[in-house]
Structures are given as structure tokens and as C-alpha cells.
Amino acid sequence: MEGDILRYWKLSAAAMLLVATVVPLSANPAVANPAVAEPAVAERGLDYLVRDYQTRVPSKYTSDSWAPFAKALTTAAGVAGNRSAATSEVATAKTALMNAAADLKAADDGTFQTITNNTFWKDTSGNPIYSQGGGVFKFGDTYYWYGVHYTGAELYRANPTRKYDGNVSFVSIPVYSSKDLVNWKFENRVATRSTGVGSGANMGGAGWVGRLGVSYNENTGKYVLAVQMWHTGRGGHGVLLLQGDSPTDTFDYGYFQTQITNSPTTGTGDQTVFTDDNGKDYLIFSNREGRSRGFVAKFRESDSLRIEPGVEIRRGGGREGNAMFKLDGKYYHAASDLHGWNTSVNYVNESTSSNVQGSYSSEYVLAGTEMDYSHVTQTGFFVTVKGTKQNTVIYAGDRWADFAWNGIGYNQWLPITKTGARPRFHSVSQWQFNVTTGEWRVGPANNYILNPDIQADRIIVSSVRGWRNLGGSVTNVNGGVNGSRFALQVSNRGGVEQRIESVPAGTYTLALHARGSAGQVVITGANGSQRTLSIPSSGGWAKRELTGIVLPSGGATVTVRASGSGGVVVDQLSLVKTSP
């Protein structure tokens, strides 16, 4: 997707003038030898970790997991207090402490926390979360979420009734922390417009900043952020590598790598960082132009400040949103269509060996992403949670304000599980997750209708995604309720239907907004029972609702029909369970 915006900016004199007129601030000093840091600097990060882990309460963890953690914490505290400790000693203590913290096991089964999609998320202080194109990484027992804050995100949040083409000016890279992957605390801005990028330049002068991830290097004790950047003052496209002493530190310049060996282009297409079970870190990316080739490249083990030669794992159609997850011993590379920040199904290549840089299968569509184009998102990144009862992968999808206008909320998180031979994506608007056990369940306010806001298709079509035509005239029309992009129009006595795979037994409410000519919506249960919601003609949008619908467990079908030759227009459909 970034290739599209870069081509746009190359043709935009105004955008180039904006970049040219940014006054560069003093760059942070480059690290002459990143593998050797000043002890005081390295200890600053260890001090942070020690203070953080001293807040843990023994009774909340099993005694077997607490004992090695307490030992590692005592050792780390001693090293942190020794200002003459060598850099290698500090790195060793930091790594041992994080490993012991990661092995802590809760003394109970945890609790379920609710994730609600299709909304703009806030942090624990009630402020907007601005984090796109990044990743979530677990260091010790804490998850850290890194992403990019763009000016367009602020504009779209304030008024999500239009596109904001070209409003991708870089503001900062914030980091948030969480223990449960649901409640996120703002920690710091690890990089800002004044962050140096070498040669006297800074990030404020970049034409593009995005698609990033963080790795931890055991040899240096540094956290290294790899971010895609286009900067005319640094030679064009490349991977910017910044580093910090703690997960929430202010990161400084490490290196700017314009070329990854074996890639046919400089820079990268969409990229993410993947950390394997053994702690090894990899950059997942495609070639920048065309994006027909996918690569897995290892971070240099000595300091993580170079990306080693890429190994090609896929070749075919142009793909973006390149990301990877591992589930039950297999690696999965996933990506979206080359649609310039719009939505699509997810395409997957799965490993056919135990090597992340080994052979992969041919491409197939990730089951569950077909009906609503991956819950109206593009691939962002994945988080794998190994619970005490099951393993669950969280798909973190992106909705972008810029060039897309795909609905409310930037971040849409959905569960992926594997019950058969292949993984499956579960498109739910609300779900509950237990980070301790790894279990998830559908939330009480989940909408069982997919693509209910008619936002999945990026252009006007005659067959709306997720809805099967039953005759007559069917299309998505501009101008949905509350200023959304599209609505669904059915004309000439036509109709559409959506077959919902499964609903739990209970009582439901069917609701929608409608305008135009008369029509009706029929809900059919697995046992053949039917209820009908009549839609009278209306010159403007009006909400229509049918309550007390009793459905048995199993499949259900929602059918929308036009009563006459005129067109009935519907939007914001919902089928929500109301019984306990």
C-alpha cells in the first residue's frame, strides 16, 4: 500500500514542497559501535526493568515459576546497582530477567476481557490510541504495542465521513503496554519528528514512515525498531533501524539500510517483524515495486542493526500487508490484495518444513475472510498467545483513513484458531479473550451479520460482498447512514441474502436503517422458522427494528427484498442476541 502513496507523492508538487520545507532538527548522534554501549546508558534500561518487575506480587504466580524469577530479579538488581558492570553483563542480566518473567505462570485461570471492534479505541487514560502499521511484542510478561501516529488519523477520527487523501504526515511512534492485550496504557513516544536518521537528517523530513516492528537483541541488551522509511535526504527507500535500552525508551539512530540482498528493489514493500519461538527475529516483507515476491530475512544476531539476505518464500500476484504467525508448529505468511489501503481476503502460504526460511505451500485464501474481506481490513500483524488451555492467534487488521474510508475504527482485532488442517479467521464485531488460558468466546453484543455497513467493497459493484443476489437489481450506492461511504440498494422486486454459518440458540433483535421504496427483511432459523420486518417507504433514513426473534442453534439466513420496482436502500444491519 505504501507504494501507492509514494507514487502519489512523487506526482504531487504540493506534497514534495511540504517535505522540502520541513526544517531539519539536530540529529541524534549515530552509534559508532552499536555492540558496545556506555555502561550508564545500558544500565538505564536495566534499571527500568528492575523497577518494573519489583512491583510483581508473589501470590499472583505459581511458586514453581516465581522462584527462578525472584532469583533473576535479585541478580539483575545487583548488576543495575553496579555502575562499573560491563555491557555484556548488563545484557545478560536483562535477558535472564525477561526470560524468567516470560515464564511466570498465573496462580489462577485469569479473566475474560472484552474486545469491541468497529470503534475508535482509547487507552487506559481515555485518550485516543493512534497506532497503525506496527506490531505487538511480548518482552518479559508484558505486551508492548508500537505503531505510527499520522495526522490523517486525527482528522478521520474527528470526522469519519470522507477520505483524507495524502494526510499521512508522520507525528510519532507511540508505545503502549498491556498485560491482557485489551487494556492499553500509553508509555512514551519512542520516536518523533526530531529523531535523527543519520547524515544530519531527521524523521520529520521523511516522505513516508510506516510499517514497523521491534526486536530484542540478547547480545547488546538493546531493543531495535525496524521501520519502513522514504527519505530523500538519506538516499530514498530503506529500513530505518532505531534502538533503545528498554521497551519504552526514547529510541536513537542505529542504521539506515537501503538494500536487502536478494530483493530486486531498494527498501521494502509492506513489512512486519516476526519473532520465532527460539527468540530469533525476522523481517517479513515483499519487494517494493510490484510486490510479487515475499521474503523472510533474519536480523543480524550480533546487534540486530542489519537485515541479512532475504530468502524468497512466495512468488505470484502482487501482495501487501505482509505478516507472519506461527500456530501448532507451522509458519503462515499472510497478505492482502494490492489495493492501496483497501480491504480484501487474506492470502496464506504455509510452511512445508520446520524452517521459517524453508519451503512454503502455494497460496490459498484464509478461511473466514471471504464474506466481509477480513472484517473490512487489510492485514496488519499477528499476535500469538500460548495459553494454558489453548493457543490463539490474534489477527490485527488495519482500517485506514487515507485513500480507503473503510468504516469506523482503525484497529480491528479478530481471533484465528486451528481446529482442522488449516487455520480459520473468525469475523466477530465483539469477542472476549482470556490471555492466561488463551480461550476466547463471542461477545454478548456481537453482530452476526457480516459486512453489515456495506463497507467491504472499495468501488461500486453489482454483487455486494457477503450478500448473494436473488434477482432484480442489486448494487452498493454512495451515501450510507451517518455519512458512511456506501449503502445497499435492491430494486426491481429483487433481493439478496446472507447465510450466517452459525448462531447460538436464543432471542435476537434484527435492526437496520432504511430509506427509499418499501421492502422487507426476513430472518430464517435453522429449523425453518421465519420472522419478517416490513420496511415502509421513507424519504430519509429511518431505523427499523424487529425484536423477540427466537432462533435455534445452527445456521440462519437474512434476506432483503424490494417490494416493488422502486429501490429500497438499507444500511447498518444487525442481528444481536438479547437473551442471556
Burial (CB count within 10 angstroms: exposed 0-12, middle 13-18, buried 19+), residue 206? buried
DSSP 3-state assignment of 325?
strand
Model confidence at 401, pLDDT cuts 50, 70, 90, reads low
Does position 295 have pLDDT exceeding 70, yes or no? yes
Does position 17 have pLDDT exceeding 90, yes or no? no
Q: In what order do the strands lie in the sheet with 271-275?
A: 271-275, 281-286, 293-299, 307-315
Rounded CA gap, 20 and 233, in Å? 10
Does position 470 have pLDDT exceeding 60, yes or no? yes
Average confidence score pLDDT of the chain: 91
Q: Are 325 and 393 in contact (CB under 8 A)?
A: yes
Q: What is the CATH number of the domain that holds 210?
A: 2.115.10.20
Number of domains the chain contains: 3
Q: Are 402 and 166 in contact (CB under 8 A)?
A: yes
Q: Is residue 6 part of a domain?
A: yes
What pLDDT is stored for residue 540 in this prediction? 96
Q: Is residue 449 part of a domain?
A: no
What pLDDT is stored for residue 43 in this prediction? 57
Same-domain status, 377 and 477 = no
Rounded CA gap, 382 and 276, in Å? 12
What pLDDT is stored for residue 398 in this prediction? 92
Model confidence at 25, pLDDT cuts 50, 70, 90, reads very low
Same-domain status, 187 and 242 = yes
Q: Is residue 458 part of a domain?
A: no
Average pLDDT over residues 356-381: 97
In the DSSP assignment, the letter for residue 26 is P
Same-domain status, 13 and 68 = no
CB neighbourhood size of 108 (10 A): 10
Does position 236 have pLDDT exceeding 50, yes or no? yes
Distant-in-sequence, close-in-space partners of 66: CB < 8 Å, separation ≥ 6: 58, 104
Same-domain status, 427 and 490 = no
Q: Are 542 and 463 in contact (CB under 8 A)?
A: no
Here the cell at position 61 is 504466580
Q: Which tens digit of pLDDT belongs to each residue from 443-462?
A: 999 999 999 999 999 899 99
Q: Is residue 463 part of a domain?
A: no
Q: Which is nearest to 453 in space by CA: 428, 427, 487, 411?
A: 487
Same-domain status, 18 and 144 = yes
Same-domain status, 409 and 319 = yes
Residue showing cell 542489519: 306
Same-domain status, 277 and 173 = yes
What pLDDT is stored for residue 307 in this prediction? 98
Same-domain status, 114 and 96 = no
Residue numbers of the domain that contains 515: 468-577
Q: Is residue 34 part of a domain?
A: no
Does position 158 have pLDDT exceeding 90, yes or no? yes
Q: Which is nearest to 87 in space by CA: 195, 217, 213?
A: 217
Q: What is the CATH number of the domain that holds 543?
A: 2.60.120.260
Rounded CA gap, 525 and 552, in Å? 6
DSSP 3-state assignment of 203?
helix
What pLDDT is stored for residue 492 in this prediction? 94
Rounded CA gap, 319 and 395, in Å? 17
Model confidence at 9, pLDDT cuts 50, 70, 90, reads very low
What pLDDT is stored for residue 38 in this prediction? 38
Rounded CA gap, 112 and 81, in Å? 39
What pLDDT is stored for residue 36 in this prediction? 36
In the DSSP assignment, the letter for residue 484 is -
Burial (CB count within 10 angstroms: exposed 0-12, middle 13-18, buried 19+), residue 355? exposed
Q: Is residue 488 part of a domain?
A: yes
Q: Which tens digit of pLDDT belongs to each residue from 75-119?
A: 999 999 998 999 999 999 999 999 999 999 999 999 999 999 999
Same-domain status, 259 and 295 = yes
Task: Tell me phi and psi for residue 70, to 5 degrees.
Answer: -60, -40
Q: Which tens digit of pLDDT belongs to each residue from 483-527?
A: 999 999 999 999 999 999 999 999 999 999 999 999 999 999 999
Rounded CA gap, 507 and 289, in Å? 51
CB neighbourhood size of 546 (10 A): 18
Same-domain status, 58 and 185 = no
Is 11 or 65 the better-scoring residue by pLDDT? Answer: 65
Does position 159 have pLDDT exceeding 80, yes or no? yes
Average pLDDT over residues 113-137: 97
Same-domain status, 494 and 389 = no
Q: Is residue 406 part of a domain?
A: yes
Same-domain status, 221 and 126 = yes
